[in-house]
Amino acid sequence: MAMIPIEFDRNVMRQLREFEHLFYFKWDLVSDVLEFQESMEDTPFGFEQRIEQASTNFYTGLIHKDDQEHLDTYIDALYSNGSPGEVRRIVQKFRMRGKNGIDYLWVELRMLAYYDESMPVMVFGAMRNINDEQIWQIKLQHQAEHDQLTGFLNKIALEHHAEDFLNSKPNRSALIIIDADNFKSINDTFGHLFGDAVLTEMAIAIRKIFRPIDFMGRIGGDEFVTIVREFPDEDLVTKYCTELGNELRKSYGNEDKQIPFSISMGIAFYPEHGLSYQELFAHADRALYESKANGRDQFHIYKPSFIGNSSVESTRDIHDLSDAQQKAFQDNMIEFVFKILFETNDPTATISWTLGMFGRQYNLDRVSIEVYDRIANRYSTDFEWLSPNGVSTKTEHHIENISSLIDSRTELMLQMYHPTPLGVMAICNDTREVSAKYQDTVRFFKLGSFAHIRITHGTTDLGSFCFESAAPREFSDKEKQDLNVFSVLLGNILLVRSSDEKILEENTRLRDILDRMQEFVYVIDKETHEPVFFNQTIRQFLTPISTTQPCFKRFHNLDFPCANCPVERLSKDGNEYLLSQMNNWGELTETRTYNIDWEEGKSKFALIIQDPF
């Protein structure tokens, strides 16, 4: 008979730790010895189970040198403002030495630091191997910032890097716009694949001639930008432009037809032609038009006299906006999403726009995001795009009551979810094959096939991202991959940002609840003890004053904090709470004290709840 465990025994715990890639350790700060609970011999890490002089080893190869700044932050947090008996929670990410002693692996450390007086003396922690997850995020970020064809920075990423560079007030630098002459003729004559090969040749030549430290980006179909960083003299820039023009001056064709090819360039210098990327780009663009108007195959440096020269007209091609956007989305979905988010600064608009792009690209009938409400324990449709054949799951779009159909639909989806290499997904290519109990539901919603994926943030379930069609169909690997990638963007960026307004609404409701509680409830600044909130129960006992006073002065007319004040024992930003007794206008009462984020981004407040008389 199989031996099935019925308790959390050592074998179960070991397998769970292996599944989660968890390694538990103890760090005695007094002796500076760090020891893992189990041997590290069969792990991908290159250090022993017991590490003597751990803090020294951290700085001498155990942690990647580029992450030692994060280590400094951790050490500062560990040793700052401790209090007797405090247990402080600290989370950090580092790259730690791998088995071969050369590679480093990303880990997340979650630590409990225990304090004696004001100094930490012991740390217990769990180390989780997050290397695959971190590499995926880095890869995702790289894809979001780079043009797929050339490997150069895309338009948005180039502008961000350039602005950061210019904000550092560098020495004299230059922005060069490089534009292909006759590229449209080459594309129209020989096709887009040939045109892509020409663009790739341009990128190779730019990378060959300019320096590795210079920024190189592709900002449009046949337009490139190079930022030459801190050159010694102007002759170096003109030398680069001359070499690049010579390298790319040629003709393309076959036995029947030859088309000459060259490039035109416009140059603007920092700081004389502008201090920002936008100023430099506008002036380099003006110089580029001067090159085009004077016969192409040349470069010009910007001069103020170019302004007002009516003989120069833009040579940029104007395409149908919607077609261009759909092609840009198809070529690089991640870049498109980040561009929309950057230009609108509106995650809600970005999500809505992107759903429509997916629907049109894959000929779907419904693309939606079903958000999971943990408090109400239900799924609801927050975002939805519909084709003429699509049926909405929003109740306000239906005259009849469809709540039971929506519940049945949700039940069908949840029971079909299963782990895949691309995430937890529910895929059905033909809903005629599902159980008879759901057939009324799929007919009502015209649901012929669907592919859904879970959206998560860490271990938190945020909901589902959904592709649906009115007819049976198979979902391609590309569609499933796009489901995966966009669900990552939703879970880590878009839905997190779009929930800010909901959080504000929830905070307003929280304050209303606190205000109506019968207990004495107030919030104070932990450093100054000045109250920032009194609930209604307290306000009826207090007379209004025009000056700010700490709670011990306002309530008890004391010059110093109360002798048994629990606020003094709260950690900096931990999530512990303290039970104690406090003087409540002459009587000792039960008191609960918590850390609370009362203002956005500031965790320096304490919530105090005292039982009434």
Looking at residue 584, its pLDDT comes to: 65
Delineate the domains of the chain, giving CATH numbers in brackets: 14-129 (3.30.450.20), 138-314 (3.30.70.270), 323-498 (3.30.450.40), 504-610 (3.30.450.20)
Parallel, antiparallel, or unpaired for β 215-218 and 223-228? antiparallel
Whole-prediction pTM: 0.42
DSSP, residue by residue, 402-424: -HHHHHHHHHHHHHH-EEETTEE
CA atoms within 13 A on the CB side of 413: 27
Instruction: Give me the amino acid identity at 348.
Output: T
**Angle, nearest 10°, between helix axes 183-190 and 192-209?**
140
DSSP state of 568: G
Contacts (Cβ under 8 Å, ≥6 apart) of 599: 532, 605
User: Residue 35 burial (CB < 10 Å; 0-12/13-18/19+)?
Assistant: middle
Retrieve residue 244's tokens. Answer: 């690049």
- What are the residues facing 589 on neighbouring strands? 582
- Identify the pLDDT of residue 535: 85
Three-state DSSP string of 284-332: HHHHHHHHHHCCCCCEEECCHHHCCCCCCCCCCCCCCHHHHHHHHHHHC
φ, ψ (nearest 5 deg) of residue 610: -115, 140
DSSP letter assigned to residue 146: B
Structure tokens given for 152: 């150069």
Is the CB of residue 350 less than 8 Å from the CB of residue 340? yes
Amino acid at 309: N
* Residues 235, 231: Cα–Cα separation, whole Å: 9
For residue 318, the model assigns a pLDDT of: 31
Are 224 and 218 a contacting pair, CB within 8 Å? yes
- Which two tokens mark 205? 């030549």
Closest residue by Cα to residue 610 from 555, 553, 530: 555
313 DSSP β-pair partners: none
pLDDT score for 175: 96
* Per-10-residue mean pLDDT, the chain, length 613: 75 70 89 91 88 90 87 83 86 88 88 89 90 78 82 90 91 94 87 90 94 92 93 90 95 84 94 90 89 89 64 38 64 80 76 90 94 78 90 86 90 92 94 94 95 88 94 94 93 68 59 79 87 82 68 82 82 76 72 78 75 66
557 and 541 in contact (C-beta within 8 Å)?
Answer: no
State both tokens at 490.
């939703």
- Give the amino acid at 360: R
Query: Which residues fall within 8 angstroms of residue 243, CB to CB, at 6 or more apart?
Result: 209
Give the list of residues 6+ apart from residue 232 with CB closer than 8 angstroms, or none. Answer: none
Widest pairwise Cα distance in the chain: 103
Q: Are 351 and 490 in contact (CB under 8 A)?
A: yes
User: Which residues are CB-contacts of 398 (< 8 A; sequence separation ≥ 6)?
Assistant: 392
Q: What are phi and psi of 82, to 5 degrees?
A: -75, 165
Look at residues 246, 138, 252, 132 and name the one whose alpha carbon lies nearest to residue 190: 252
Count how many Cα atoms sit within 13 Å of the Cα of residue 406 in the half-sphere of its side chain.
Answer: 17
pLDDT of residue 498: 47
In 3D space, the residue among 453, 393, 445 whose CA is nearest the CA of residue 419 turns out to be 453
**DSSP letter for each residue of 439-462:** HHHHHHTT-SEEEEEEEEETTEEE
For the chain, the straight-line distance linking the first and the last C-alpha, in angstroms and rounded, comes to 63
Q: What is the pLDDT of residue 316?
A: 41
* Paired sense of beta strands 378-386 and 418-420, if any: unpaired
Task: Name the residue among 297, 259, 289, 103 with its Cα closest to residue 183.
Answer: 259
Per residue in 425-454, pLDDT tens? 999 999 999 999 999 999 999 999 999 999
What are the b/e assignments for 98-126, b being 16+ CB within 10 Å? Answer: beeeeebbbbbbebebebeeeebeebebb
Report helix, strand or coil for 342: helix
166 CB neighbour count, 10 Å cutoff:
20
The tokens of 557 are what? 């007319």
Q: What is the pLDDT of residue 428?
A: 96
User: Cα separation of 39 and 42, whole Å?
Assistant: 8
**Phi-psi category of 8—alpha, beta or left, where left has phi over 0 and alpha has psi -120 to 50?**
beta
Cα distances (angstroms) measured from residue 568 to each of 23, 519, 525, 561: 34, 22, 11, 9
Map tokens 């022993």 to a residue: 48
Count CB neighbours of 449 within 10 A.
22
Enter the tokens of residue 282.
């506008």
Q: Please enumerate in sequence order all residues whose Cβ is within 8 A of that of 523, keeping only pairs 6 or more positions apart, or say none.
A: 531, 532, 533, 596, 598, 605, 606, 607, 608
The CB density around residue 509, as the number of other CB atoms within 10 Å, is 10
